[in-house]
Chains A and B, each alone.
Chain A
Amino acid sequence: DGGITQSPKYLFRKEGQNVTLSCEQNLNHDAMYWYRQDPGQGLRLIYYSQIVNDFQKGDIAEGYSVSREKKESFPLTVTSAQKNPTAFYLCASSIRTGSYGYTFGSGTRLTVV
């Protein structure tokens, strides 16, 4: 079955370390997205990519970086510059931008220890 796979499900990071969250989709979708969710809050857009080798900053891109070398993959790196990285991170994809619906992964819960 097609879908989005995020790994790992839980991740612990020491302060000052970079960490990379994986997101893979086999839906043949052009567009991919990363969101961050804090407890009791809605989702906030970090980065998005409309096509391979292209990506754009969302509303809260500071302290994060992404790459889109393959259509299927859109990894997110949380750098040491991100001041408060503990959160639930969600990856999504859509056929392309526009009116199309999103498919979400099951998320990665990152905790800084």
Chain B
Amino acid sequence: GAVVSQHPSWVICKSGTSVKIECRSLDFQATTMFWYRQFPKQSLMLMATSNEGSKATYEQGVEKDKFLINHASLTLSTLTVTSAHPEDSSFYICSASPSASSYEQYFGPGTRLTVT
């Protein structure tokens, strides 16, 4: 149980285009989902926290107009990288939490984004 999927697993896009990454909780309802970014050989940096039906809370320094997060249902959150640039190339990982009392987050397998 507690499986989180991400789609796509990897994507290549051209500079200036937008790309959408999906994060799904497959066997539980996720009241909260988190989006992390990981640079090569570095740790995970939290980008934003999204709660179903409300606006995402972005970490300091994260451009909310560039990284659009939508948590439209209890099983799906999406991250859209708008007007992508090469510096947006990274590994994006989502996690999902079933509830405030769950004490755990379940991580997706990650999405490798390359912007050319």
A binds B: no
